Homo-oligomer: A and B are copies of this chain.
């Protein structure tokens, strides 16, 4: 009997925002895997920590700090092989994913490798997108609004064109791009329609109007929400 790999969205930060299904699978998991930095703590593991069994085998998938694609591919190849040895032995493996597994996550790279040879299930989670909306106390979009998700590393002209034509936008992966994003929004006259949310639902979460933010690099887990139509629909 082959085991099943189960990608579990652990939610945006508050451990209580994990789903009942995710928590139940984790509580009986004997093998868990999770993404981690080259050194230091895994955020996905930290979020899931209250729900982990004590005696599970843990596989930390440590990602080198490299802009090069080759070492990253090799890490996923090796991780899939390691997870596969447990699956071949009939053990299920729970794979922790920050937020939701399929919303801009790294899980897809493992999924592509594992699904070729083993059964893989996916348990969706609360994404940073809706967590930031809850923290900002504003709806992301309503009725026939167009909502665009824009990764901040995109070029200025691409971001400008999309921001000008979206009713609502969520700019993700803001991090060191914050000063550039602020300049673009100011230029488009949208600064006072924008809000900044950092580490949504975590203990040190922060939410302020974009006009109250310093134009300095932000943490990776930060988002700028833009509502072009303001509260027209409220």
Do residues A145 and B134 form an inter-chain contact, with CB atoms below 8 A?
A: no
A60 sits at the interface (CB 8 A): no
Number of identical protomers: 2
Contacts of A154 in B (CB 8 A): 144, 146
User: Which residues in B have their C-beta under 8 angstroms from that of A150?
Assistant: 146
Quick check: is A19 within 8 A (CB to CB) of the other chain?
yes
Q: Which of A101-121 contact B (CB under 8 A)?
A: 101-105, 107-109, 111-112, 115, 120
Q: Does A3 contact B (CB under 8 A)?
A: no
Within the assembled complex, what's the spacing in Å between the Cα atoms of A115 and B136? 13
A2 at the interface (CB under 8 A from B): no
Q: Is the CB of A103 within 8 A of B130?
A: yes
A124 CA to B99 CA, complexed, in Å: 12
Kindly list chain B residues whose C-beta atoms are within 8 Å of the C-beta of A131.
124
Residues of B within 8 A of A146 (CB): 148-151, 154, 158, 162
- Does B102 contact A130, Cβ atoms closer than 8 Å? yes
B20/A104 in contact, CB under 8 A = no
* Count, chain A residues at interface, CB 8 A: 61
Asked if A123 is an interface residue, CB under 8 A from chain B, the answer is: yes
A126 within 8 A of B: yes
Given contacts A17-B19, A105-B139, contact A124 B126 (CB under 8 A): yes
How far, in whole Å, are A24 and B19 apart by their CA atoms in the complex?
A: 12
Selected contact of A151 from candidates B102, B107, B143, CB within 8 Å: B143
Contacting pair B148 A134 (CB below 8 A): no
* A31 CB–B CB distance under 8 Å: no
Which one of B19, B123, B129, B147 contacts A18 once the chains associate, using CB atoms below 8 Å?
A: B19
A interface residue numbers (CB < 8 A to B): 9, 11-12, 14-21, 23-24, 100-105, 107-109, 111-112, 115, 120, 122-127, 129-131, 133-134, 137-151, 153-154, 158, 162, 166, 201, 231, 233-234
What are 8 sample pairs from A and B whose C-beta atoms fall under 8 A apart?
A14-B21, A17-B124, A102-B140, A104-B140, A108-B234, A122-B134, A143-B151, A146-B148
